[in-house]
Structures are given as C-alpha cells and as structure tokens.
Structure 1
Amino acid sequence: MVNEISIEQDIVKTIRGILGESPLLLHEPYFVGNEWLYLKECLDTRFVSSVGKFVDQFEKQLAEYTGSKYAIAVVNGTAALHIALKLSGVENDDEVIIPSLTFIATANAVSYCGAIPHFVDSEESHLGIDPIALREYLKSMTEFRDGKCINTQTGRVIRAIVPMHTFGHPSKLDELLALAKDFNLELIEDAAESLGSYYYGKHTGTFGKFGTLSFNGNKTITTGGGGALLTQDENLAKLAKHITTTAKLPHRWEYVHDQIGYNYRMPNINAALGCAQLESLPSFLKSKRDLYESYRRGFENLKNVELISEPRHCKSNYWLQTIKLSWEQKNLLDVRNRVLELTNDSGVMTRPVWRLLHSLKPFELCPSMPMVVAKKLEASLINIPSSAHLLPKDE
C-alpha cells in the first residue's frame, strides 16, 4: 500500500526533477518581444489612455486570432462578462446558471446585473459544468411560462447559462448549447482562461452570444489588466463598444451621452502590451504544451497523482498545469493541504482550486444543485508552476 505521507515529497521531487532548484512561481508574465518598443511609442506619442492606434489594432488581431467577427477590448475580464450578461438580456432578479467551481468574478459579474447566481455541479473530464446532471436537475425544478424558463422553487426567470473553461480546458459546449436551446437560455462563455483553446477545432468564446476573455497579469498573455468581449453580432458589437465608452455620442467637442454607460474601455498603453504579447502567443502555447509533456512523463509513474490532460476533441492552452489527487485516498482534503504546505515551503508555488462559490458568505443563500463532483474536485485539484518560460533551454 502506498504511504500517503510520501505523496507530498514525491510531488516536490518530481517537479524539482523537471524544473530544477530555483524558486518557482505559479504563473509569471513573459516579455520577450516588442513590448518595450510599443510601450515607448505610447509614451512618445502621449496616447496612453483610451484613444490610440493600439486599441483598434489589438481588437482586430484578437478577432483574427480567435475567428470571432468582432472583439471589444475592456479594462478586465469581469467587466467584459458584466457587459456580455447585460446585453444578453440578464435583468434584475433573474437567475444565471454558473458552475460553483469557478473564480469569483463569474458570480460577481452576475451580481453586478442585479441577478442571482444559480450554482451547478461540474464533471471530471472537462472540469466544467456537467450538462447531463444539469439537464436532469432543470427538468425536475423548472417549468415554462410564456416561453421563459422558471425556477419553480423561487419563481424567478432563469435567463442564461455561463460555462467557464477551467484552466483552459474547454467545457462540453455541444451538450451545453443543446441544453441552452431546450431551456431557452442565453449561453455566454467565460473564456477568461482559455485564449488559445479549441473545441472541435473552433476557438472557445465563439460559440455563445458572447464570449469573454481576460488578460490579467497571470493569464497566458497579459495587458497588465484587461479583458475583451467576443461576438458574431455586428449590432451587439457596436452597442458593447458604445456603452463601455460611457455611452458618449461622437462629436468634436460636445459631451452627450444617450444612456447609462460604463468607463470600461481598455487604455492604449495596455493594448500596446497586448499587441506585443499576441505576437508571442504561438511560442507561449508551444512552451506550455512542452511543459505539459515534461510533467506528463514525470508524473506518469507516480501513484495516486494524475496530471490533468486536455479532453478529447479539444486543444487546451494548458494555462495552469493541474494535478489531481486520487479520490480513493482517505482524508483527501488533509492530503491536499499537506501537498500545498510542503510545496510552498519548498519554494514551489502551488495553489488549490477555488473554494466552491456556493459555500462563500456572499452567495450562501443562492440556489444550488447538489455538488457531488465539484466537492471532490475542490479537495483534489492542485495547480503547479505553469509559466511559459519554465523549461530549461535544452528541453
């Protein structure tokens, strides 16, 4: 029988054997291209705020890279998701289905609309919303009134569903799109973590009415702080750009605003950083895939530990490399915590998956389904060092 006490030592030894003895952070930005050149141009021309050529250039390049017809750059991924929900018809007192296993920004954006997060379970292979369990759950507790999906327990309209592509691994989009159609829900993708990930050859964030991206400092590429909306609808794209620019009507000098708007536009200096980062994205993705392969070889003979791999028919960006402790282990949460303690004490930064959102104080009264799989994932998933530059040069 495997001695559970040895698991944490084995994990540290495996990671150190691959990456060496230097301190290892979880995910650092990597600047090896034209970042300094483009930032200097912003400073030299003094176009550092929301006006400047790099904003338009970044949006164009994002649309081209993802295959989306339109991309609208904003200040962060949460702002992108807020506007996507608002323009998808989410209103005060509506419910929006989101996974409990996600970063809190997903739930916060729903709350910004005055809506209520409705938390649902995840599944093991993709780490996203479980469409089979969710379908049975909705069949048991909803009904249609005037074409709207009604939660019979609360009387509220369930307006939308927001799958999140966990750590860059695409959710089961075909089944979720079918579910959204059957229950008359708008589908908005939280693709904050999945730039460079594909589902059956199509980029994540381009399946629903909107997709949203994040370019925070710890993402695959960064603009410092930033996000974007993706949409295939020209009118929605124009409206999104308008209301994220304080809903100001174009004029040479007059300040006329035709509705409540938001100061959400991405500054030019951030977009300049993004343009340079996009140029390096293919090499970042290759390096992260190479890192995955090195981890795969290192962990393949380690008992009770599994490296998370991209799902079938998907191409993941491997934003955060992730190990899963065996669910059969006794006291799984204690084992996870020992791993986290020893790795971090040893200079190997690791992190657990997020605390399930339905258990947090701001959301503890929100509706939720039984979290059979999500609770196991919460107790077993650990993110390990994932930066694009980690492998030695001879790898």
Structure 2
Amino acid sequence: MNEQWMQFANDIRAMYGKELVPLHEPTFNEKELEYVSDCVKSGWVSSVGSYVTRFEEELAKFVGVKRAVAVVNGTAALHIALKIAGVEANDEVLMPSLTFIATANAVSYLLAIPHFVDVDEETLGVDPRKLNHYLEKVSELRNGVLFNKETNRRIKALIPMHTFGHPCAMDELVTLCEKYHLELVEDAAESLGSYYKGKHTGGFGKVSAMSFNGNKIITTGGGGAILTDNEELADYAKHLTTTAKVPHKVEYVHDEIGYNYRMPNINAALGCAQLEKVDVFIEQKRKLANIYETLLANLDGVQMFKEPIYCQSNYWLQTLTLDESLNRDEVLAFLNENGVMSRPIWQPIHELQMYKTYPKMNLNVTEKFKKVIINIPSTPI
C-alpha cells in the first residue's frame, strides 16, 4: 500500500484519538446508568417490567408503526415475523444472498427454504427489476398462490434487507409483492433511523424485524423487535414470544408451542436511554460519512457507498467500494495492521456449505460485491 493509504489510516486514528480504532462500539452516558440502576433497584430485571412496555411504545412511535414487540435478539424477531406472516414448512422465501446469516437461519427455523436472489448496485438490497424477470420465468400463480415451477413448492414471502442501513427500492418491491401475491417481511435489523421517500424502513411490509445488538445504531445489549401495523398480529407475536402462556393470575396454561423470546426489563431500560439519543447518533453517523468522503479524495480506486436516491440512510456501517484493480484482502490487512479495524462484507450465503444446494437466481452482482466491499470504523463521533 502507498503513502496515501498510510495517511488515510493516520487520519482515522487521529479523528478518533485512538491507536486502535474499533469497527463499531456503543456510546453510553449517565442516562443509561440511571435507567439501568432504577431497573435493578426495582427488582424487576427479567421478563416483566415497565421499561419493556415503554421501549415498545417509544420504538413504535419513532418508526411510525402501530406496534412493536420487544424480543431477545434480531434473529428471534425475524423468526417470529416470518411465522406470523404465514411462512410454513417447505415454503420458499425469497431473500438476498448478500445478507447476515440470521436472515437465512430464521427461514430455516421454520423448516422453510431460503431462495436466494440478487441485489441492486444502487441500493445493496434486492433488485426488484431483476427479480421480476426471474419470477416471470421460474414461477406461476395458481389460484392466487405463487409456485416455483421447478420445485413445485409454494413461494410465500420476500425478505428485503436494508444493507448497512441503506434502504431498498421499496415502492418497486411492494408492487412486485402485490403482483406475485407475496408477503413482504422486512429485515430492518440495520436500518433504525433510515427512510425511503420520508417513510421509515420497517413500515412497508406486513411485519418487520429490527436488531439492537451491541454494534447497532442503538443497543439493548442484545435485543430485537417485531414491528407491524396489524394489532392482531402484534398480539399474536407477543403471545408466541412469551411462551404462548394464557393470561391467568396463578395457572400455567399454554395453548400452543411458544418461544421464550422475551426481552428482559433491564435490557429494555438500556434501550429506552439509547432511543432518546437516536437522532443525535444518526446525525453524527451522517457527518462521519461526509468526513470519510473528504478523506477518500486523495485515494485512487476507492469510493464511499452513498445513500440511494429518495433515501435518507442512517449510515450504520460506513462502506467503501474498491475498484477491481485493488486487492480487497490486502487493503483489509493493511488497515487492520495499522490500527483501523475493518472487515469484508459477509460471505454470500449461497456459498456457505449448508445452503449451497438451495434455489438461486443468477447472483453476479452479489458475487461482484463480495470482492470489492469493506466496512471501516463507524462509531459516532
């Protein structure tokens, strides 16, 4: 690597005032300590408590949906979101291969089949035009139900994932789902505070899922949420994630197989404090993107990935795309060796051993991005 890359690494360390700059770490202050301490003093630290209700109400209001159901992590949220959307065993679920493994795993928990589709170069999310052409060839509607002509399995749902906080082309995806009678289940794990044409991500589908892992825009330590405008679905999600226990003062009666996916009150307390600062975090993230764009002006063969048109991204992870003339692994090694933690994009899921035989379309854009995308330090400053 040349002197310009060394200067880039030096500028990042100087910007953060650290010799080793993490990829992303949470930001806490006195408010988190106050709420968590209050929770501990109350004794209500587990699955029941006022902070869970408060977090759910404030999150729903921020996103602009009627209901939020807080759960233990984003994977659990997506698992239940798919279940209440009607995904059943042996159904196929369309989803990007360029996503975190949780998207595919949640489908597999239901004994359903991930069906991998390609992404758009402008959004990093599902390419609606390419998917439409693909479905015209491989699927057919039978009495209002979409089937894969090759496998004869029902194709039940589409999961768009807002990669690194950049919104997908939601208008076209909504239209596509209507055309093919698909349930739209958004994987909004990374996109709290991101908007498509002024509407918050997670509010387009029948149901959606968010994550509040320690590296997300806000964190509850571990945690996630199911979001929906459907009150009945929200009630059912709450029921399923609290072991499907029938309300009763003393009796323990459960009316179906449920899941112990409840978010503990102590985690929700942390989340309430974080949610009060989410607008500040996002403003700082967007400023950081502008700073990086300035720093990159002196580097050849690399550029910032910017928010798609009509979108406002939270810039959760700052993302660089490299020209193919640059060796991704050499760039990653250089940055990490010089105190700037950086990572590649995920290994495309269709290349992982347990998913290699699953149905897929042509994934040339996914396979291109695998070679040229890296993430660099993204903690708000």
Q: Do both share a fold (TM > 0.5)? A: yes
Task: Confirm or deny: 8 A CA contact 1:18 1:295 kept in the other structure.
Answer: no
Which among 283, 297, 301 is matched to residue 300 of structure 1?
297
Distance 1:219 1:131 in 2: 27
- Match in the other structure for 1:366: 358
- Classify the secondary structure of the residue corresponding to 2:134: helix
Alpha-carbon distance, 1:362 to partner: 1.0
1:35 lines up with 2:27 in the alignment = no
Deviation at 1:9, TM superposition (A): 4.0
Matched residue, 2:47: 50
Cα displacement string for residues 236-284 of structure 1 (whole angstroms, at most 9, x for unaligned residues): 0111101110010111110011111110110100000000000111111
Match of 1:181 in 2: 178
| Distance in 2 separating the partners of 1:318 and 1:309 | 8
* AA matched with 1:342: F
1:386 to 375, 378, 381: 378
TM, length-normalised to structure 1: 0.94
Post-superposition shift, 1:300?
A: 2.7
In the alignment, which residue of structure 1 is the partner of 2:272? 275
Shift of 1:20: 4.9
1:161 and 2:153 aligned: no
Residue 258 (structure 2) pairs with residue 261 (structure 1): yes
- Distance of 1:91 and 1:189 partners within structure 2: 17
- Aligned-residue sequence identity (percent) comes to 55
How many residues are treated as equivalent by the alignment?
381
8 A contact 1:321–1:386 mirrored in 2 = yes
| Residue aligning to 2:330 | 338
Give the 3 Å change call, closer, same or farther, for CA 306–12 of structure 1 in structure 2. same
Q: Map 1:7-156 onto structure 2 (within 5 A).
A: 8-9=5-6, 11-13=8-10, 15-16=12-13, 18-20=15-17, 22-156=19-153
| Alpha-carbon distance between aligned partners in 1 of 2:2 and 2:365, rounded to the nearest angstrom | 25
Q: Report the Cα distance in structure 2 between the residues aligned to 1:234 and 1:190, rounded to whole angstroms.
A: 20
- Segments of 5+ residues of structure 1 without an aligned counterpart are 390-395
* 1:97-119 C-alpha deviation (Å, 9 max, x unpaired): 00000000000000001101000
Distance 1:270 1:235 in 2: 26
Instruction: Show the counterpart of 1:352.
Output: 344
Post-superposition Cα deviations, 1:324-373, rounded to whole Å, max 9, x if no partner, equal 0024x2xx5xx100011111111110000000000001101100111111
Q: Which runs of 5+ in 2 are unaligned?
A: none
Could you tell me whether the CA contact under 8 Å between 1:7 and 1:339 is conserved in 2? no
1:33 and 1:279 in contact (8 A); partners too: no
Contact (CA 8 Å) 1:71, 1:231: kept in 2 or not?
Answer: yes
Shift of 1:210: 0.7
Query: Does residue 376 of structure 1 match 2:373?
Result: no
Using the size of structure 2 for normalisation, the TM-score is 0.97
| Matching residue of 1:248 | 245
Decide which moves more: 295-304 or 241-250: 295-304
The amino acid of 1:268's aligned partner reads N
CA–CA distance in 2 between the matches of 1:189 and 1:300? 35
CA distance in 2, matches of 1:181, 1:324: 33
Report the alpha carbon displacement of residue 16 of structure 1 after superposing the two structures with TM. 4.1
Alignment partners' CA distance in 1, 2:182 and 2:30: 42
Task: After TM superposition, give the deviation of residue 34 of structure 1 in Å.
Answer: 1.0
The answer as to 2:235 corresponding to 1:238 is yes
